[in-house]
Amino acid sequence: MDRRTPLGVAVIGTGRMGTDHVRRIDRVVSGARVTAVVDLDAERAEAAAAGIDGCTAHTDAAAAMAAADVDAVLIASSGPAHEAALLTAFEHDLPVLCEKPLTPDAASALRVMEAELALGHRRVQVGFMRRYDSEYVKLKALLADGRLGRPLMLHNRHRNVAGPPFFTSAMLITDSVAHEVDATRWLLGHEISAVTVLRPRPSAAAPEGVSDPQFVVLETDGGALSDVEIFVNCGFGYQVQAEVVCERGTARIGDGHSLVTHTAGRWGGTITQDWTDRFAQAYDDEIQTWVDATRRGEVTGPSTWDGYAAAAVCEAGVRALREGGRVEVHMVEKPPLYR
Amino acid sequence: MDRRTPLGVAVIGTGRMGTDHVRRIDRVVSGARVTAVVDLDAERAEAAAAGIDGCTAHTDAAAAMAAADVDAVLIASSGPAHEAALLTAFEHDLPVLCEKPLTPDAASALRVMEAELALGHRRVQVGFMRRYDSEYVKLKALLADGRLGRPLMLHNRHRNVAGPPFFTSAMLITDSVAHEVDATRWLLGHEISAVTVLRPRPSAAAPEGVSDPQFVVLETDGGALSDVEIFVNCGFGYQVQAEVVCERGTARIGDGHSLVTHTAGRWGGTITQDWTDRFAQAYDDEIQTWVDATRRGEVTGPSTWDGYAAAAVCEAGVRALREGGRVEVHMVEKPPLYR
Amino acid sequence: MDRRTPLGVAVIGTGRMGTDHVRRIDRVVSGARVTAVVDLDAERAEAAAAGIDGCTAHTDAAAAMAAADVDAVLIASSGPAHEAALLTAFEHDLPVLCEKPLTPDAASALRVMEAELALGHRRVQVGFMRRYDSEYVKLKALLADGRLGRPLMLHNRHRNVAGPPFFTSAMLITDSVAHEVDATRWLLGHEISAVTVLRPRPSAAAPEGVSDPQFVVLETDGGALSDVEIFVNCGFGYQVQAEVVCERGTARIGDGHSLVTHTAGRWGGTITQDWTDRFAQAYDDEIQTWVDATRRGEVTGPSTWDGYAAAAVCEAGVRALREGGRVEVHMVEKPPLYR
Amino acid sequence: MDRRTPLGVAVIGTGRMGTDHVRRIDRVVSGARVTAVVDLDAERAEAAAAGIDGCTAHTDAAAAMAAADVDAVLIASSGPAHEAALLTAFEHDLPVLCEKPLTPDAASALRVMEAELALGHRRVQVGFMRRYDSEYVKLKALLADGRLGRPLMLHNRHRNVAGPPFFTSAMLITDSVAHEVDATRWLLGHEISAVTVLRPRPSAAAPEGVSDPQFVVLETDGGALSDVEIFVNCGFGYQVQAEVVCERGTARIGDGHSLVTHTAGRWGGTITQDWTDRFAQAYDDEIQTWVDATRRGEVTGPSTWDGYAAAAVCEAGVRALREGGRVEVHMVEKPPLYR
């Protein structure tokens, strides 16, 4: 498509995730705009569309997908609604980003797959977003380069402060461990061949009748083991950690430090080599903040006074460098504009 | 301005920093586009503008700023050229993001300040981007809430793998320590009142005649000390670290862990409480990657097969949970489309 | 017994462990001395006893235990020899420290237990030395105080650089995981009710036919799970780690940092409050080194010159404190005695 | 001297430090015993000697040093009393461990040095115990091997929870920074040539009139800088940290992790290779605890029941390994003796 035109995206579903994606496409992501939002609840759809120029609200996904300014679809409705939305998107041959799960069970997922196969080309990206997390990406790259040898075991921790009230024992598997299922397949490049679920006594914080935590062991067709501690009412924080054990070392992510390896008698990580790497986020946020403020007609951030003060101090510093000893800094009085 | 229209930005200077900002506005930042680039070297200006729809190339900053589609100016030329560009922007009353240093010395900075004061309103944001780094932001917030008491000392480390060939002893102050000068002023909310520069023997890796490393001590009008190790040929990595020592504890950033405090008998940091916090970067990158691929007419990322496989494994997992023991996973053969 | 007399210990077995214990009692531990060593190989027994005043060498454990200057027995022979040595010690009603395993199987352990019960009082301490590791001790204390709630899961890692050549798949359980079996029982205060052993594909570094690594899941009668990764040919280092997951937080040891907890939104550890805690090892080693050198007729360590230099620098420091600015240090020439 | 006889030590001074050294020689260190304690206060001397077989109490150091069973002297009295005690020890040609400071000023230290020179051989070890701390020892070894290049800067942190009530501004230098003075000289192998002391505003926790914290800069004759943050009323903990900056990397101690280096693009530390290294403290404590309990006529620690339970679980584990699946553990009832 024309690079001049941003991608027009229809977002299906305006719950917590859908609303967040609407904001993301509208405010964060470059090159796209939300042109339609869909929700069975017309009021929620209207609310989500409000304030976005050129965005229409719908209660019917098919109508939204038929609109001329819709180039792609993001499905963020509840799992059971995914199949119908995907098939409709296929009818319009639209590219789809579908939040996980693709569908709630294997049979319906198979139907979606068959419909895509009938189209003859890929249309769907499933929302397994761990594959885009910078730490998982580093871990994948480390495994791919083979330095640590073949992976033998993967230890996963997945903890939430508190589960939603409707969470059942089975949902610990289908909603939470589903992420580790994909991460295991993706990191190791194996398919999973068997599953065992162990249940320690439930935490006092688990709702009556819910087995929380659980300990899930996944066996892969490549002979590796992947174990998952899932604990949705751990109370203290949200943690997603993974430690892969290979023939010549281990690597761990999610532990505060970016990627820590243990190999050849040493533990540790890499040091950034460049400011473009260390401060990429700072530069991006600096410019985005400036753009946002400027569009609102405001000027924020470090001022001319700050620039002047730095120049005055650096001048004194250069004198101190050249002459030795302590050099005092003298500045004009601060104008009220900069207070 | 109209929220429908992206902010049109003229970028002055297409060196390493200017080029990176052009890319950032074109590809990363939301709500802005590069409408003009300026470089004394016409060929470089053309090269920077190439491939950006509606972006013109100029050798004269004033001409660029006069263009109708220029709403704001980003100055990334060399320091000595900043004053003229700023004054021109003031003539057009355009908002400016000016890379640091504002100008190379206090006298010229004062002239810029007087010109802005004559305008009667702020127009300039100086590019002290550390104020936008998430770790510095957290440190600032911690100091602001007063929990650790008043700050007494700030220890800074600033290390580069290797300095550029033209770097002089004075540039360690004006180009590098300039960042710590601003960070000290901003974090502590003090002005700097005196500077001392100490010179250990130079590293073998320092060019002939260059004092590298240096140890700079800044005294503030609030009675705090801020010391800076600047070492531009440290050889091993790029590191920017800060440790603030307050009356009731310390806090440190830049050390791999996000923000580590020491207070009341304990060291440590906070745990994210939510996936929107832990995985914000992953979600942003996931959607940006999808938008970019879709605009190129490609489908990448986790496929329908991955969605199906996850569904099949989770189904087996739920059976394992309910029935106990080990449950095998059975899937259809993988279609060639997903290989 | 009389506090004036050191405890006379007979050490049974002079392999790697026995020899190390002989050295420990002779050189490190206060209040004990090795009065007898026993080995079937008379030459090894003689070698172990050589250089220890008043220590006799034996090939027969019973003869050693009958000696008048033997007050206690340390059994460090191979596992199958433990039962006989323990029963002999019981005949002399001697206190015993018996290296783990107590005996190689449950039936023989039961016979030892019955013999001790017949004595009517405890005589045996089994060498599960993890209970004396400062990190395990801290973890036990943390669990005991109940702050984190009841323990639900325990994740253990046990890795060796390389197993000895005679190590079989079963010895990964009986020689290595035996430590985690005791640690699980001791930390949680539960008995173990069931065991599952999972076998990922063996590492390329594992000897032919040996299942290494293994993943062992222990279920306890208190409803907790304890999983153990045992990997005896991991190649990169010796690691023993444990992470306990409780109802309100987790705690981890063996990871370089002493004890790291995650609870109530924060991760971290304690800071020592006192030099007697931080530098206990340094003080002990300083005095032991001084005693050892003095007994050899030598003087080592920081000299009078070092004391003089410190005094001269501190004097200059006090002047610098009082007068401000930089104060030079002047010292006499260094006498040859201190070079 | 005869290896059979422990070294007889006279301890001069029974304040906090002296009492701790008496305990250390009596209970921790091997090969020495306290044969005399000296304090001007006869009651304190008696109290310190009580319960130690063959230890006499004195108010006169000379009398103690003349005793036949005194082979060496440990001086732990207050600084001003050191000179006299040292000269008396020289008269008896006794080896001395003298707590730091050697003496309170350079002139008296010089007199002690001259007296030792007159003896013609070294007799004094000064109590700079950091040289015996395992982390400092590792740092010294790393610097000695030259891998990181020449040291250029040393950053030291020295923090106490709260200073004693009599602590003056000068004592921050003479009592606290004195340790960093010695550590700097020892680690770098340089003498200190100049001192600067900077005073930020005092902490609210500092007593009236006391400059706390201070920031001390030491220059060495080898061209290195060593800066010291001394903060004796930091309130939150006791911390002693050192970071050395060399031409090709940095190394840090005192930060929870043992020794962390940054060099060649990586940060990290070493992994122990062996259980004798990882669990040395546990083995020493296990045997010391056993010896102490046995001398008291007690049996503590893991019991025969614990040995039996481990054997039973391991037997089940080996079956689980061989047969696959989950194997239950069955044990006899626990006898009351082991409850």
Give the number of other Cβ atoms within 10 Å of residue B59's Cβ: 15
* Edge-to-edge strand list for the sheet holding C124-127: C56-58, C32-38, C7-12, C72-75, C96-99, C124-127
Cis peptide preceding B80, ω within 30 of 0? no
pLDDT at C285 over 50: yes
Asked casually if ipTM beats, i.e. exceeds, 0.90, the reply is yes
Residue of C nearest to A256 (CA): C267
Interface test with C, best of D295, D323, D334 (most C CBs within 10 A): D295
pLDDT digit string, tens, across residues B254-313: 988 789 999 999 999 999 999 888 999 999 999 999 999 999 999 999 999 999 999 999
- Residues of chain B contacting residue C266, judged by C-beta atoms under 8 Å apart: 268-271
* C155 CB within 8 Å of a chain B CB: no
In whole angstroms, what is the distance from residue C258 CA to residue B120 CA? 58
* A265 CB within 8 Å of a chain D CB: yes
* C203 CB within 8 Å of a chain A CB: yes
In whole angstroms, what is the distance from residue B157 CA to residue B241 CA? 5
Chains near B, with 3+ CB pairs < 8 A? Answer: A, C, D
Sign of CA dihedral A31, A34, A36, A38: positive
* D213 CB within 8 Å of a chain B CB: yes
Question: Averaged over D306-333, what is the pLDDT?
Answer: 96
Q: Do A265 and D270 touch (CB under 8 A)?
A: yes
Provide the CA A298 distance to its chain's centre, in angstroms. 31
pLDDT at C239 over 70: yes
* D30 CB within 8 Å of a chain C CB: yes
Which among D262, D265, D271 has CB closest to A267?
D271
β-bridge mates for residue A124, sequence order: A96
* C271 CB within 8 Å of a chain B CB: yes
Q: Do A271 and D273 touch (CB under 8 A)?
A: no
In whole angstroms, what is the distance from residue D182 CA to residue D9 CA? 26
Which among D201, D262, D267 has CB closest to B224?
D201
Interface test with A, best of C148, C150, C152, C328 (most A CBs within 10 A): C152
In whole angstroms, what is the distance from residue D231 CA to residue D253 CA? 18
Which among D265, D269, D271 has CB closest to A270?
D265
* B269 CB within 8 Å of a chain C CB: yes
Q: Do D294 and C117 touch (CB under 8 A)?
A: no
Which segments within C199-248 are labelled E, that is strand? 214-220, 225-231, 239-246
Q: Tokens standing for D61?
A: 């150091």
Q: Number of helices and strands (H, E) in chain B?
A: 11, 15
* D93 CB within 8 Å of a chain C CB: no
pLDDT at A143 over 90: yes
In whole angstroms, what is the distance from residue D70 CA to residue D75 CA? 13
Which among C213, C219, C248 has CB closest to A236?
C248
Backbone φ and ψ of C6, nearest 5°: -70, 155
Which among D155, D225, D236 has CB closest to B249?
D236
Helix (H, G, I), strand (E, B) or coil at A283: helix
- Residues of chain C contacting residue A201, judged by C-beta atoms under 8 Å apart: 150, 152, 222-224
User: Among residues B33, B54, B55, which one has the least CA distance to residue B45?
Assistant: B55
Q: Do C265 and A198 touch (CB under 8 A)?
A: no
- pLDDT attached to residue B257: 79
In whole angstroms, what is the distance from residue D67 CA to residue C17 CA? 41
Interface test with B, best of D153, D192, D198 (most B CBs within 10 A): D153
**Residue D4 confidence class, pLDDT cut points 50, 70, 90:** low
Helix (H, G, I), strand (E, B) or coil at D210: coil
pLDDT digit string, tens, across residues D32-58: 999 999 999 999 999 999 989 999 999
Question: Averaged over C60-75, what is the pLDDT?
Answer: 97
For C301: left if phi > 0, alpha if psi spans -120 to 50, otherwise beta; the answer is left
pLDDT at A1 over 50: no
CA A334 to each of CA A6, A34, A308, A330, B87: distance values in angstroms, whole numbers, following the listed order = 45, 45, 10, 12, 20
- pLDDT attached to residue B276: 84
- pLDDT attached to residue A2: 52
Which among B152, B229, B247 has CB closest to D245?
B229
- pLDDT attached to residue A4: 60
Which among D238, D273, D300 has CB closest to C274?
D238
Q: Do A313 and B102 touch (CB under 8 A)?
A: no
Q: Do D267 and A267 touch (CB under 8 A)?
A: no
**Residue D325 confidence class, pLDDT cut points 50, 70, 90:** very high
Please give the DSSP secondary-structure letter assigned to residue C163: -
Q: Do B238 and A305 touch (CB under 8 A)?
A: no
- Residues of chain D contacting residue A267, judged by C-beta atoms under 8 Å apart: 268-271
Give the C window 120-149 contacts with B, CB below 8 Å. Answer: none
Q: Tokens standing for B110?
A: 């004062």
Backbone φ and ψ of B83, nearest 5°: -55, -50
Which segments within A128-270 are labelled E, that is strand? 151-159, 192-198, 214-220, 225-231, 239-246, 249-255, 257-263, 266-270
CA D194 to each of CA A54, B225, D216, D217: distance values in angstroms, whole numbers, following the listed order = 71, 20, 11, 8
Do residues D46 and D57 make contact, with C-beta atoms less than 8 angstroms apart? yes
Q: Tokens standing for C13?
A: 């077995």
Question: How many angstroms away from the CA of A248 is the closest CA of chain D?
Answer: 14
Angle, alpha carbons A310-A313-A315 (nearest 5°): 105
C-D C-beta contacts closer than 8 Å: 462
Question: Averaged over C40-59, what is the pLDDT?
Answer: 96
Q: Do C182 and D306 touch (CB under 8 A)?
A: yes
pLDDT digit string, tens, across residues D143-197: 999 999 999 999 999 999 999 999 999 999 999 999 999 999 999 999 999 999 9
Chains near D, with 3+ CB pairs < 8 A? Answer: A, B, C
User: Among residues D84, D93, D294, which one has the least CA distance to residue C95?
Assistant: D294
Q: Do D307 and C116 touch (CB under 8 A)?
A: no
pLDDT digit string, tens, across residues D215-224: 999 999 999 9
pTM above 0.90, yes or no: yes
Residue of A nearest to D260 (CA): A268
* B234 CB within 8 Å of a chain D CB: yes
Residue C90 CB-density burial (10 A; 0-12 exposed, 13-18 middle, 19+ buried): middle
Q: Do C198 and A225 touch (CB under 8 A)?
A: yes
Interface test with C, best of B147, B250, B259, B267 (most C CBs within 10 A): B267
**What is the set of domains in chain D, with CATH numbers?**
7-127 (3.40.50.720), 131-270 (3.30.360.10), 278-338 (no CATH)
Do residues C60 and C37 make contact, with C-beta atoms less than 8 angstroms apart? no
Q: Tokens standing for B182?
A: 């601003």
Residue of B nearest to C273 (CA): B265
**Residue D258 confidence class, pLDDT cut points 50, 70, 90:** confident
Chains near A, with 3+ CB pairs < 8 A? Answer: B, C, D
- What pLDDT tens digit does each residue of chain B (339 aa) get? 455 689 999 999 999 999 999 999 999 999 999 999 999 999 999 999 998 999 999 999 999 999 999 999 999 999 999 999 999 999 999 999 999 999 999 999 999 999 999 999 999 999 999 999 999 999 999 999 999 999 999 999 999 999 999 999 999 999 999 999 999 999 999 999 999 999 999 999 999 999 999 999 999 999 999 999 999 999 999 999 999 999 999 999 998 878 999 999 999 999 999 988 899 999 999 999 999 999 999 999 999 999 999 999 999 999 999 999 999 999 999 999 999
Backbone φ and ψ of B210, nearest 5°: -100, 125
- pLDDT attached to residue C1: 47
Do residues D200 and D234 make contact, with C-beta atoms less than 8 angstroms apart? no
- pLDDT attached to residue A207: 97
How many angstroms separate the most distant Cα atoms in chain A?
80
* A326 CB within 8 Å of a chain D CB: no
User: Among residues B250, B188, B251, B260, which one has the least CA distance to residue B225?
Assistant: B188
Backbone φ and ψ of A273, nearest 5°: -105, -5
- Residues of chain B contacting residue C268, judged by C-beta atoms under 8 Å apart: 260, 266-269
pLDDT at D101 over 80: yes
- List, in sequence order, the alpha helices (H) in A95-252: 106-119, 134-145, 169-171, 178-188
Rg, chain C, Cα only: 26
- Residues of chain A contacting residue C154, judged by C-beta atoms under 8 Å apart: none
Rg, chain B, Cα only: 26
Helix (H, G, I), strand (E, B) or coil at B213: coil
* C281 CB within 8 Å of a chain D CB: yes
The residue type found at B40 is L
Interface test with C, best of D197, D220, D227 (most C CBs within 10 A): D197
User: Among residues D122, D196, D212, D217, which one has the least CA distance to residue D163?
Assistant: D212
Instruction: Calculate what percentage of chain C has a pLDDT beyond 70.
Output: 99
* B197 CB within 8 Å of a chain D CB: no
In whole angstroms, what is the distance from residue D316 CA to residue C240 CA? 23
Give the number of other Cβ atoms within 10 Å of residue B76's Cβ: 26
Question: How many angstroms away from the CA of D335 is the closest CA of chain A?
Answer: 27
